């Protein structure tokens, strides 16, 4: 029996590291006491290289760190930030746990679905955006929130989402620093 179910049709096929990748992995491993400890950073490197972690990519990572493929698979599937399917250029992850839900996450998801014309788990026809609901993204005090790729956007409204999506569709960078930060940054009462 194979260590993984059959890969999806859009799998990568045989993959290998470049010489530059191997050098980066070797340097990276100097920061960890064991190869196993370097698994997450190597998965990140693989995701940057191939865009997502197909079964073929996970097998290559397993060979690299000398672990069973099933162990690499279990780690990769635990973390939502590691993509197991191809996504659009921008991966929109909307938190749907309690704080965000109470603050309007369902309304935010519906707005994004209507705006982009897709359902959760789908990618826009132009390949720009993929929408997902995810578990807690640790920004409960500034709910509702979403993450686009590696950047957080808090205190969302339909208007703020439209500004972000319009900018990305035009090729503008994500709007950072985020203006909403000043609304909830700690300020001493003794000043």
Q: Which CATH class is domain 90-181?
A: alpha beta
pLDDT of 84 over the 60 cut: yes
Choose among 49, 170, 154: nearest CA to 41.
49
Task: Tell me if 102 sits within 8 A of 143, measured CB to CB.
Answer: yes
Reading the block at residue 83, the tokens are: 């993509």
| CATH level 2 (architecture), domain 19-78 | Orthogonal Bundle (1.10)
Give the CA angle between residues 55, 58, 64 to the nearest 5°: 145
Reading the block at residue 36, the tokens are: 């196993």
Give the pLDDT of residue 8. 44
Choose among 173, 101, 111: nearest CA to 137.
101
The structure's pTM equals: 0.71
pLDDT of 29 over the 90 cut: yes
pLDDT of 2 over the 50 cut: no
Give the pLDDT of residue 4. 37
Give the CA angle between residues 124, 88, 60 to the nearest 5°: 145
Domain boundaries, the chain: 19-78, 90-181
Backbone angles phi, psi at 158, to 5 degrees: -55, -35
């Amino acid at each position: 029996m194979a260590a993984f179910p059959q890969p999806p049709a859009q799998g990568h096929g045989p993959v290998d590291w470049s010489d530059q990748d191997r050098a980066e992995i070797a340097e990276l491993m100097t920061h960890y006491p064991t190869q196993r400890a370097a698994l997450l950073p190597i998965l990140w490197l693989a995701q940057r290289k191939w865009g997502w972690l197909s079964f073929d990519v996970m097998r290559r990572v397993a060979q690299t760190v000398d672990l069973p493929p099933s162990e690499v698979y279990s780690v990769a599937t635990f973390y939502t930030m590691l993509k197991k399917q191809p996504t659009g250029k921008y991966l929109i992850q909307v938190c749907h746990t309690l704080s965000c839900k109470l603050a309007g996450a369902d309304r935010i998801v519906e707005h994004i679905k209507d705006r982009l014309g897709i359902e959760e788990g789908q990618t826009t026809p132009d390949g720009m955006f993929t929408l997902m609901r995810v578990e807690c993204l640790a920004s409960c005090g500034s709910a509702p929130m979403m993450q686009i790729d590696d950047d957080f956007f808090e205190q969302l409204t339909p208007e703020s989402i439209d500004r972000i999506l319009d900018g990305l569709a035009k090729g503008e960078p994500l709007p950072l620093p985020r203006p909403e930060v000043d609304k909830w940054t700690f300020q001493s009462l003794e000043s």
